[in-house]
Amino acid sequence: MRFFAASALVLSALSAAPALADDGGIEADETRVMDAVAVLGTYLANEKFSGTKTQTLIIDVPQSLSVVTREQIAEQAFTDIGDVLRYTPGASVGQGEGHRDQITLRGQNSTADFFIDGLRDDVQYFRPLYNLDQIEILRGSNAMIFGRGGGGGVVNRVTKRPDFDGDSASLSVSADTFGEMSGSLDYNTALNETSAFRVNAFAESLNNHRDQFGGDRFAINPTFAAKLAPDTHLLLSYEFVDDDRVVDRGVPSDGSGAPLEGYDTFFFGSADQNRTTLQANIARARLDHRFSDTLSVNTTLQYADYDKVYQNIYAASYDMGANALTLDGYQDKTGRENVIFQTNLVSEFTMGGLAHTLLVGAEYADQASANSRNDNVFADTNDDQTIVALSRPLTLPDFAFSQPVRHRESDVQVLSFYAQDQIDLGQYFKLIAGVRFDRFGIDVNDIRNAARFSRTDEEISPRLGMIYKPVENVSAYASYSKSFLPRSGDQFLDLTDANSQLEPEEFDNQEIGIKWDIHPSLSLTAALFRLDRDTTERTADGEDSFVTTSQTEGFELQLGGQASDRWRVDVGYSYLDSELADGSARSQVPTHMFSVWNRYDVSSQLGLGLGVTYQDEQFASASNAVTVPDFTRVDAGIFYTLRNGTALQLNVENLLDEDYYAAAHNDNNISPGAPLNARLTIRTAF
């Protein structure tokens, strides 16, 4: 009821929106060229925005979303997905057990709702940002476009492409006060009028404020583009990622419902054995063909191979009275091969006096996974747990990862068909309606338990949105979308012989919002939503019942772009009220989150940046027993461009040296935030 009451208030205010807008509006033709900074008010090309898979003004997309450009990534010295999401409304970051990206969007936690150029990239790892044009964070259920999962939203990375217009090269190096160093290269050459080659590469030596932490990662991404004919383009891409780092799971709670204080740098594990490695090979071929000005098709084939290992000793609990730690540990190995084929046909036409943009597409995926887990065995207890005194340094008994507890192989095959129509209903209204059919089949070989089981689900995922545009630069929308998650879960490990009889979980997202292009390079978005997560449960008499397991109601506000010729600002705020069916609060969902980043150019050479992020307190786990405190962090930047074009950049994180906890995985794995830290970056083009 709260959602609908708030919706009525917002809708009643929509009639005032035209008075806020410039009567002249923004001409559509003026927004067709993409601006690298003010992306919220721009026209994004089909291959660069996946909210509809068609060429659509963001103001005409009935959904709350954020687009972070490569310029913003560089300016704020973002190094991973977590950095980006801390400046994104409606999104929070999980610890990911120190070895993966883990996010919560609109109260829904996921390790797999990640995509690269619109294709699934779902293995658990830290995704680098070196080769990106932009990152798209779409909030709300997204199965119609992306398929299963994405209950609270998805993160889509859009990679750089070769440029046919000429040769260019840029080099960037950076170092911070913790000793972390990195370098990246972006080289493009136009081989001739019809072909171009680009390579992006980076290497990083990892370090931070935590004792024993370290590691290295590097990646390379060569791409080749060719104009096979005036209307036919081919893109070939290959990426290799190698990541080797210490797994750090933070600090335990103190037994009184708060993180253990005084151990911000202390490492609760084994410096030698807490380790994760990843090798990823991702190859992709895309063919675009335009039959006419109103009819086009694109087809993509992707093969990805991932080899992931992580192992760790970590604090399972802490007894303050005895000053003793309970330690636990395990080793986990995952190998996965993804083969994904996707094709999209887009047609623009007029029928019955109405303009249509029709999308028809299909996708096939085959994902073969092998996963095994060994529990740790401590020599003093002959068990996976032991109790030791909390001392500096921590003294660990002998141990080995030698007790098999899981050994599974799974094969997932997905066949999808989808269609979507965007219709101009006269001068003021637009309708977007789409539906997707997914056939999701999984076969599991439980080698350790000598068991086999499987499940096949056929799901329909609709999307419906109505847009009202009283003037060209203001829109109000209402939308409904639905997604589903099979019982196999994010990583195909949750399916059992018992729950294989149950239907997938479902996500229903209802949303209303307003988008206002204040001027061509400054945009405002506000959205109210309710997201229900529903599941089937089997009663004692064998009957299935459909229940709501969680509900999130919320509000998101976003302002971004050029406030003046010299001042750019990005502001985000979200309010999330997320509860489980029993009335307890959903974990790792701060009620209030706020962020702002300002850049003011004093001159053509000198710029200053200032940012603030606030995150409300949150529960570390579903137990609601441990609270991660709220915090406010201030960041700053100084940017200076030499006369030869070389750019010097100094980013200062946590300028006021706030003592805070950045993220959690559970009640006893909580990550202390970094203290005051400065990063110097030098960029040059040649």
DSSP 633-680: EEEEEEEEE-TTS-EEEEEEESTT----EEEEEETTEEEEPP-SEEEE
| Domains of the chain, first to last | 2-685 (2.40.170.20)
Q: What is the pLDDT of residue 548?
A: 78
Quote the strand ranges of 111-167, DSSP E. 114-116, 119-120, 132-139, 153-159
* CA separation for the pair 340, 364 (Å, rounded): 6
CA distances, 319 to each of 85, 269, 325 (Å): 34, 17, 6
Residue 545 is predicted with a pLDDT of: 65
Question: pTM for this one?
Answer: 0.91
Radius of gyration (C-alpha) of the chain in whole angstroms: 25
Closest CA to 40 of 598, 613, 525, 574: 525
Pure H helices in 45-194: 70-75, 81-85, 143-146
Q: Which amino acid is at 66?
A: S
How far is residue 74's CA from residue 603's CA, in Å, rounded to a whole number?
19
Q: Tokens 């919706």 map to which residue?
A: 7
Q: CA–CA separation, 63 vs 478, rounded Å?
A: 9
Residue 244 DSSP one-character state = E
Q: Residues for the chain: how many in total?
A: 686
377: three-class secondary structure by DSSP: strand
Q: Which helix (H) or strand (E) holds 563?
A: none
Supply φ then ψ for residue 646, to 5 degrees: -65, 135
- Quick one: pLDDT at residue 618? 97
What 3-state DSSP class applies to 48?
A: helix
Q: What is the DSSP letter of 383?
A: B
pLDDT at 544: 65
Our measurement of the distance from residue 452's CA atom to the centroid of its chain's CA atoms, rounded to an integer in Å, reads 33
Alpha-carbon separation of residue 363 from 133, 136, 145, 344, 436 (angstroms): 24, 21, 10, 9, 11
Alpha carbon distance 668, 314 (integer Å): 9
Tell me what pLDDT residue 542 has. 61
Structure tokens at 292: 């006419």
Tokens 């029993």 correspond to 582
CA angle 506, 509, 510 (to 5 degrees): 145
The pLDDT, as a whole number, for residue 540 is 57
Q: Residue written as tokens 């080749």?
A: 224
* Residue 571 CB-density burial (10 A; 0-12 exposed, 13-18 middle, 19+ buried): middle
Helix H or strand E segment including 562: strand 544-562
684/686 Cα distance (integer angstroms): 7
**pLDDT for 376:** 96
Tokens of 412: 């997932």
253 and 670 Cβ atoms separated by less than 8 Å: yes
What's the longest Cα–Cα distance across the chain? 80
Token digits for 148? Answer: 């299963």
Judging by beta carbons within 10 Å of its beta carbon (0-12, 13-18, 19+), is residue 672 exposed, middle or buried? buried
CB-based burial label for 44 (10 Å; 0-12, 13-18, 19+): buried
pLDDT at 546: 64
The token pair at 353 is: 């006096």
Query: What are the residues whose beta carbons fall under 8 Å from the beta carbon of 398, sequence distance 6 or more?
Result: 378, 379, 380
CA–CA separation, 97 and 200 (whole Å): 29
CA distance 517 to 275: 47
284: β partners: 237, 302
Mean pLDDT by 10 residues, the chain (686 residues): 42 38 33 30 38 84 93 95 95 96 96 95 97 95 94 95 95 97 98 97 98 97 97 98 98 96 96 96 98 97 98 97 96 98 97 95 98 97 96 94 96 98 95 97 96 96 97 97 95 90 94 95 96 80 72 97 95 96 90 98 97 97 96 98 96 98 97 98 95
Bridge partners for 603 per DSSP: none
Kindly state the tokens that stand for 57.
């003004």
- Per DSSP, the residues of 515-542 read EEEEETTEEEEEEEEEEEEEEEEE-TTS
**Burial (0-12, 13-18, 19+ Cβ within 10 Å), 445:** middle
- How far apart CA 466 and CA 557 sit, in angstroms, is 20
